[in-house]
A and B are shown apart, each in its own frame.
Chain A
Amino acid sequence: MAGPLLRTEHLSREVAGKKIVDDISLEICAGDVLAVVGPSAAGKSSLLRLLNRLDEPTAGTVYLDGVDYRRIAPREVRRRIGLVLQTPHLFPSTVAENLRFGPRQRGEILPESAVRRFLEGVGLAGYENRDVYHLSGGEAQRVNIARTLANSPEIILLDEPTSALDDVSESGVEALIQDLIQKMNLTCLMITHDDTQARRLAKRILVMEKGRQTRLDIVASQSHA
Chain B
Amino acid sequence: MLSQFLKTPLTLGLGQAAIVVVLCAVVTAFARTYSIHVERENAVGLSRGIVQIVLMGYVLAFALKGPKWVAVIILVGMILAAGVTAARRARGISGALRVSLYGLATGAGLVIVLMTLCGVIEWKIMSLIPIGSMIIATSMNTSAQALERFRSEVVSHTGRIEAALSLGADPVLAVTPYVRSAVEASLIPRIDNLRSLGIVWIPGLMAGMVLAGSDPIYSAIYQFVVIAMLYAAAALSSLTTTLLIRPRAFSSAGQLTLRPKKAAAH
Residues on A close to B: CB < 8 A? Answer: 15-16, 18, 20, 45-46, 49, 52-56, 70, 74-76, 78-79, 82-83, 85, 87-91, 101-102, 105-106, 147-148, 151
Contact = CB atoms under 8 A, between A and B. Distances in A.
Contacts, number: 70
Given A78-B166, A79-B167, A106-B168, 4 more contacts: A49-B266, A53-B255, A82-B166, A87-B159
Contacts of B265: 15-16, 18, 20
A54 B168 contact: no
B163 A54 contact: no
A58 B266 CA distance: 12
B108 interface: no
Nearest to A105: B168
Interface of B: 159-160, 162-170, 251, 253-256, 264-266
26 contacts: A15-B264, A15-B265, A15-B266, A18-B265, A20-B265, A20-B266, A45-B266, A49-B266, A54-B165, A55-B255, A70-B253, A74-B254, A74-B255, A75-B168, A78-B166, A78-B168, A79-B168, A82-B166, A85-B163, A88-B163, A89-B159, A89-B163, A91-B163, A102-B168, A106-B168, A151-B167
Contact of B255 (A20, A54, A88): A54
B162 A54 contact: yes
B167 A56 contact: no
A89 B159 CA distance: 6
A18 B266 CA distance: 10
Contacts of A151: 167-168
A91 B169 contact: no
Given A45-B266, A75-B254, A105 B170 contact: yes
B168 A85 contact: no
B251 A75 contact: no
B162 A101 contact: no
A85 B164 contact: no
B165 A78 contact: yes
Given A55-B255, A75-B254, A85 B166 contact: yes
A46 B169 CA distance: 20
A46 B253 contact: no
A92 to B, nearest CB: 9
Nearest to A69: B253
B22 to A, nearest CB: 46
Contacts of A76: 168
Contacts of B162: 54, 85, 89
